[in-house]
Structure 1
Amino acid sequence: MRKKQAQILIVDDQEEILFSAKMILKKHFETIFTENNPKKIISILNENEINVVLLDMNYRIGFEDGREGIHWLKEIKTLSPQTIVILMTAFGKIDTAVEGIKIGAFDYVLKPWHNEKLLETIDKAVAESRKNTKKAVTGSIQNTEKSYFVGTSPKIKQAYSIAEKVAKTDANVLILGENGTGKYVFAEFIHQNSQRKNETFVHVDLGSLSDNLFESELFGYAKGAFTDAKTDTAGRFESAQNGTIFLDEIGNIPLHLQSKLLHVLQTKTVTRLGESKARPLNVRIISATNNDIKAEVKNKTFREDLLYRINTMEINLPSLRERKDDIVPMAHFILEKIAEKYNQDNWKFEENVAPYLEKYPWKGNIRELENKIERALILAENNTISVNDLDILNFEEIQENDENPLSEMEKSAIEKALFKHHGNISKTAEELGLSRAALYRRIEKYALKNG
């Protein structure tokens, strides 16, 4: 049997898993790498053209919520967007694996796996990898130039205008905005428009780092620095050398660790745990937070001198509520991108969707809009997304008065749902997100028939 030309990386902290998977896959694929330390992923990707990564979701004893896997998935997709990632998880952790698929994983396999199922999944991933490579070569997608949606809102246009100007410098940038307003995308935009765009963009979610991992993760460590320090390991700052490091959720750093970060920014050097040698850094710093950082300074929970270091330029990203005219065109932009992700064409929204999109509160901002559109694309039929598919009939938040501009839309949606479920109150209420009592009140209010 001829082996398929593919380079596959297996990452798991259990040697028996690595051995078993390698024995199965090496009979079918040309090159198999194995690694028990996820921190080596970046260097392996930099040195090899990896087609598929088979990635475990848990590495440290006592941490079994899958967040490490999600973290490394994001890192792989940032560093090597063409690489296909398959997650490995235990039966009881499927929810986290599904979350991983939403943010870019190709699929997941359960441990212990069935050999045939594992081979089938890897085979599909290799085929997908080849498809991605072909697209990049033929130019049918933008391979290095990522497209960004700006919109027409004055606030967002001003933010992008500032970003384009500051990108040409090495000034430190602080991005402020609610959860889901696109701070990561905005930081990436600054990097892509800078002189460092061909260097590494390293994203660090500071909100997910525990206190005891803060220094080792950011600054690295020497062999023997602590019990599990078996090799010299570079931290995230060194990984971003000559490029950009994005310190997300910087407002969540405890006060006692802020001085350590401040020292790195002031001296432009980093010292690994267990060493005394300071290593010079050439790194662009972009930070972000959804906290009221100036109030934290006033309350003495965030150092004022650290704030001065990170906000040479401060950029505020508006919420979707502040840029309502952008919601509908943004939804179309997102739908096109998600359809492309799933290799599908000719998706559209029903004609009556636009007013619902504009009136929905979008408390989760762009992230919520993306999630609802992706879910709708998976569930919808005939390549057409309806209001019901989007799950934005959130009528509990609508004030009940006859002058409400959504009254007619609400009435129409209830009529459609009643018809769809043949007058079944329980199913209709469930679809609309209402209690049975609330649905009965609306049926009476609009004089609807439910039979």
Structure 2
Amino acid sequence: MAKTDATILIIDDDEDILLSAKLLLKKHYSKVIVKDTPKELNQLLSSEVIDVIVLDMNYRIGFNDGKEGMYWLRHILDVRPEMVVVLMTAYGEVELAVNAIKEGAFDFILKPWTNEKFLATIQAGLKLSKSRNKVSLLAGAKEVLERDIDQKFGPIVGKSKEMLKVMEVVDKVSLTDANILILGENGTGKQHLAREIHKRSNVKDGPFVHVDLGALSENLFESELFGHMKGSFTDAHEDKPGRFELAQNGTLFLDEIGNLPYNLQSKLLTVLQDRKVSRIGESLERPFNARLLFATNAPLKEWVDQGKFRQDLMFRINTVEIEIPPLRVRPEDVEEFVFHFLEIFKRKYHKSNLSIEKEAVDLLREHSWPGNVREIQHTIERGVIMSDGHEIRITDFNLSTAPPPVNSEVHEIENLNIQDIEKMLVEKALDKHDGNISKAAKELGLTRAALYRRLEKFNL
């Protein structure tokens, strides 16, 4: 008979009881731990994934009041509220056991026991334990997924030869478990493509967990990615699984991977190699099974050469690279995006009869779109909102039809080195907005995180 994959902990000061219980349970369960004192409980709870604890009520000779058992029961449930605890008690202590159940114990076993009753109680406790753990993970995943509930991710738009090449690669890699690095400028749709890969993968029925590393402060990286235990730091009021655990049997998408601090890159590398993760505050390693996707708009290969990004981590995350081309090199896709977003926002704002004039479409097609697809999305939404009649006009978009003036300082850079021009533009934006990062980033069409990376890159 195959053993059930579970860990049972038995604590009793009677060696005969421990031996009998272990001999019985080890026939049915993969791991049985026995201890003659509860003093090692904290260490065991942090180093083992325990499914059921069988706890004696008394540990001192001559004392049968059950106070020790009640103390340790409360302690266990305070540290692990979801833990299933079964009490062992003598016949005359049934009232104590009943009171313990009111305190949160699952059930009790009378000594001496019958094997059938003992096994049935443990099996029932194990079923409850597995159910609680599943609910905990699902609740965590639900919380993460609800943050994205208002985002609409429809089919991939774009029929240009550049996008067709991208989708050819997607077709080849989606059904594999290869790590994929998605590259592209801000607004090109890296998250959209990651979701498309997930939908075509073997884990499409599992969760898609998105982590924007660019939006996390450094002190939250470990807690968000790896989870934490109650009391492991000031605000850790309860156990919390990290994103690796929440993505179990699904896809974990680490966006803006270039924002991962160097001191945490080695830890991420270890997790990717071992496929195990430890929450903050515990030594237990928890295996995870998730498809891993990564994305960035940062020049990671340059950063590797500069010592800002680990080369071994770079090798690990980009088994396959997919680069989404910016919209300016595939202008034939612009019109398709225009009508795609028009339909979405017509429904959102209840303007089902709305159309767009030809001159407006021509203007949109000729625009340079430095913000890529995200800029088109916001532009069309504005047009739908601002339109008064049944047709969106050029004036509803607030896009300049005149070419931007040539900046004299850009014109004076003889070698037209992209790095020099980029540095100069960053400096000009900061000067224009008196060092205000948010305004400068908006002026440049960047996120705050992307601007911070450029400030570090150019030592500004």
Aligned equivalent of 2:164, options 113, 134, 157? 157
Q: Which amino acid aligns with 2:321?
A: E
In the alignment, which residue of structure 2 is the partner of 1:276?
283
Offset at residue 342 of structure 1 (A): 3.2
Conserved 8 A contact 1:387-1:393: no
In the alignment, which residue of structure 2 is the partner of 1:234?
241
Give SS of 1:397's match.
coil
Conserved 8 A contact 1:353-1:387: yes
Offset at residue 394 of structure 1 (A): 4.9
In the alignment, which residue of structure 1 is the partner of 2:207?
200
With over 3 angstroms needed to count, the CA separation of the structure-2 counterparts of 1:294 and 1:233, relative to structure 1, is same
In the alignment, which residue of structure 2 is the partner of 1:291?
298
In the alignment, which residue of structure 1 is the partner of 2:319?
312
Give SS of 1:337's match.
helix
Aligned equivalent of 2:267, options 260, 271, 281? 260
Conserved 8 A contact 1:251-1:302: yes
Offset at residue 44 of structure 1 (A): 7.2
Aligned equivalent of 1:326, options 318, 324, 333? 333
TM, length-normalised to structure 2? 0.56
Conserved 8 A contact 1:217-1:235: yes
Give SS of 1:257's match.
helix
Aligned equivalent of 1:76, options 135, 140, 146? 146
In the alignment, which residue of structure 2 is the partner of 1:178?
185
C-alpha separation between the residues in 2 aligned to 1:398 and 1:387? Answer: 21
Conserved 8 A contact 2:226-2:277: yes
In the alignment, which residue of structure 2 is the partner of 1:355?
362
TM, length-normalised to structure 1? 0.57
Offset at residue 152 of structure 1 (A): 2.1
Encode CA deviations 1:240-298: one digit per residue, 9 max, x unaligned.
11100110100111211111111111110110000000000101110000011111111
C-alpha separation between the residues in 1 aligned to 2:364 and 2:225? Answer: 40
Asked whether 1:212 is paired with 2:308, we answer no
Give the number of equivalent residue pairs: 272
With over 3 angstroms needed to count, the CA separation of the structure-2 counterparts of 1:240 and 1:164, relative to structure 1, is same
Asked whether 1:249 is paired with 2:265, we answer no
Q: Which amino acid aligns with 2:395?
A: N
Offset at residue 306 of structure 1 (A): 0.5
C-alpha separation between the residues in 2 aligned to 1:365 and 1:280? Answer: 39
With over 3 angstroms needed to count, the CA separation of the structure-2 counterparts of 1:44 and 1:310, relative to structure 1, is closer
Q: Which amino acid aligns with 1:321?
A: R
What is the percent sequence identity of the aligned residues? 45
Offset at residue 347 of structure 1 (A): 2.3
In the alignment, which residue of structure 2 is the partner of 1:136?
none
With over 3 angstroms needed to count, the CA separation of the structure-2 counterparts of 1:41 and 1:242, relative to structure 1, is closer
With over 3 angstroms needed to count, the CA separation of the structure-2 counterparts of 1:77 and 1:276, relative to structure 1, is closer
Give SS of 2:358's match.
coil
Q: Where in structure 1 are there 5+ consecutive unaligned residues?
A: 1-39, 47-71, 82-102, 105-145, 400-451
Offset at residue 354 of structure 1 (A): 2.3
Offset at residue 45 of structure 1 (A): 7.8
With over 3 angstroms needed to count, the CA separation of the structure-2 counterparts of 1:308 and 1:233, relative to structure 1, is same
C-alpha separation between the residues in 2 aligned to 1:359 and 1:207? Answer: 32
C-alpha separation between the residues in 2 aligned to 1:376 and 1:230? Answer: 46
Q: Which amino acid aligns with 2:183?
A: L
Offset at residue 149 of structure 1 (A): 3.5
In the alignment, which residue of structure 2 is the partner of 1:43?
139
C-alpha separation between the residues in 1 aligned to 2:214 and 2:394? Answer: 34
